[in-house]
Amino acid sequence: MKENFDFLMPSVNFFGKGVIEKIGDRAKMLNMKKPLVVTDTVLRSMENGPVAQTLASLDKAGVPYVIYDGVEPNPKIRNIQEGKQVYLDNDCDSIITVGGGSSHDCGKGIGIILTNGDDITKLAGIETLSNPLPPLMAVNTTAGTASELTRHCVITNEKTKLKFVVVSWRNVPLVSFNDPMLMLDVPANLTAATGMDTFVQAIEPYVSTNRNEITDGQCVEAIKLVEESLREAYANGHNVEARTKMVEAEMLGGMAFNNADLGYVHAMAHQLGGQYDAPHGVCCAMLLPIVEKYNIIACPERFAQLAEIMGENTEGLSVREAADLSIKAMRQMCDDVNIPRSIKSIGAKPEDFELMAENALKDGNAFSNPRKGTKEDIV
């Protein structure tokens, strides 16, 4: 637990059904003359989907825009370079991201290399940015990474297959939009993957060495909301109440890890994502029960509390027994939303483990893990 800390708050987030209609007016308020809309082809092709609704609001407000729709999942350096070129060729002055974590991180990455130098690999790390990004707004469509309000920008170097993070308060979008109605058509497997990411983003800060009382409160509420709503959102994507609660959980978890950081689940998931181009939420979910079981001895009371927060009956149990129940609850959640149990499912190969383990221990998320591990532990 940290006693002295700085606490980063996201600026403005529009939350609720229909808030996407406000984006045109906000673009005008921010004096955006020609934003680059950063998204992918799936979202762009959806009839009356998140991109169409964003563009309709910009049209209504009379704000011209240019579209870059080349974002790939686990966005690559080539995506941010392409996006930057489209921005410059069209004299854009600002950025609007539409999508999940990949679109937001790609938009942040474009902004970073426009104002902080072309080689983003040199900017990996914490608070490395000297200059502000162009004005940035984020329309979020998954619940999710919370990238629409975090200081993180996660990019994959396609040549080295390494995923790295640029962490800076300058990355936080000026305005973000979380409209649950934009998430109703997220397919079940993506609901599971992104929802499990939210779950992990509330659990890791709860046991992080950088946690504080404020992030604890955010984590507790986020975990309860995921317990109440992820299974329901997975079972029926059009359950608006469940989708809304998942957005609330996502935002709370995002605020928590913006300040308390994460742990080995994310440090290791970045290696799997970079190496095998696998969905981030699935990587996190597969690792969650295994890594947290390993972590228990570092802070058993915290895990016993987690069991209660997750709705387990811990009456009459020892701290260790209660702590073990939290792992059971994590495993149950993974099973209920059909997360594969083995990293073989994403093509992971034992011959890659040593290098991935070395890199996981260097990942920025590793330093706040409650238990300090060795390369052999990670392997």
- Binding part of the chain for ligand NAD, among 81-89, 101-109, 117-125, 214-222 by CB under 6 A, reads 101-109
User: Which one of 186, 242, 256, 306 is in contact with ligand NAD (CB under 6 A)?
Assistant: 186
Counting contacts by CB under 6 A, is residue 292 touching ligand NAD?
A: no
Instruction: Yes or no: say if 100 and 43 are a contact pair by the CB < 8 Å rule.
Output: no
Selected binder of ligand NAD within 19, 35, 40, 87 (CB under 6 A): 40
In the complex, minimum distance from the CB of residue 39 to ligand NAD, in angstroms, rounded to a whole number:
8
Contact window for ligand NAD (CB under 6 A) among 80-88, 140-148, 322-330, 341-349? 140-148
Cα 73 to Cα 24: distance, rounded to the nearest angstrom: 27
Least separation in angstroms between residue 336's CB and ligand NAD is 19
For residues 18 and 372, give the distance between their C-alpha atoms in angstroms, rounded to a whole number: 45
Comparing CA positions, the residue from 65, 102, 105, 68 lying closest to residue 84 is 68
50 touching ligand NAD, by CB under 6 A: yes
Q: Which stretch binds ligand NAD (CB under 6 A): 35-43, 61-69, 88-96, 127-135?
A: 35-43
Alpha carbon distance 64, 55 (integer Å): 9
| Of 24, 253, 281, 370, the one binding ligand NAD by CB under 6 A | 281
Residue 154 binds ligand NAD, judged by CB under 6 A: yes
157 beta partners: 162
Q: Which amino acid is at 87?
A: Y
Of 188 and 317, which has the nearer Cβ to ligand NAD? 188
> Contact region for ligand NAD (CB under 6 A) — 7-15, 87-95, 151-159, 235-243?
151-159
Q: Which of 190, 223, 288, 357 binds ligand NAD (CB under 6 A)?
A: 190
Rule CB under 6 A: say whether 80 interacts with ligand NAD.
no
**Do residues 92 and 68 make contact, with C-beta atoms less than 8 angstroms apart?**
no
Matching residue, tokens 């994460």: 262
Question: Are residues 325 and 317 in contact, defined by beta-carbon separation less than 8 angstroms?
Answer: yes
Q: Scan residues 208-237 and list those touching ligand NAD (CB under 6 A).
A: none
User: Least distance (Å) from ligand NAD to the CB of residue 40?
Assistant: 5
Q: Does 259 bind ligand NAD (CB under 6 A)?
A: no
If binding is defined by CB under 6 A, does position 182 make contact with ligand NAD? Answer: yes
Query: Which residue, 118 or 185, is less far from ligand NAD as judged by CB?
Result: 185
101 touches 144 (CB < 8 A): yes
The CB-of-162 to ligand NAD minimum distance in angstroms stands at 12
Asked if 256 interacts with ligand NAD (CB under 6 A), we say no
Q: What is the spatial distance between Cα 116 and Cα 307, in angstroms, rounded to a whole number?
A: 44
Find the shortest distance in angstroms from Cβ 251 to ligand NAD.
12
Q: Does position 59 bind ligand NAD by CB under 6 A?
A: no
- For binding to ligand NAD (CB under 6 A), which residues are involved? 40, 42-43, 50, 73-74, 99-103, 105, 141-142, 144-147, 150, 152-154, 182-183, 185-186, 190, 194, 197, 273, 280-281
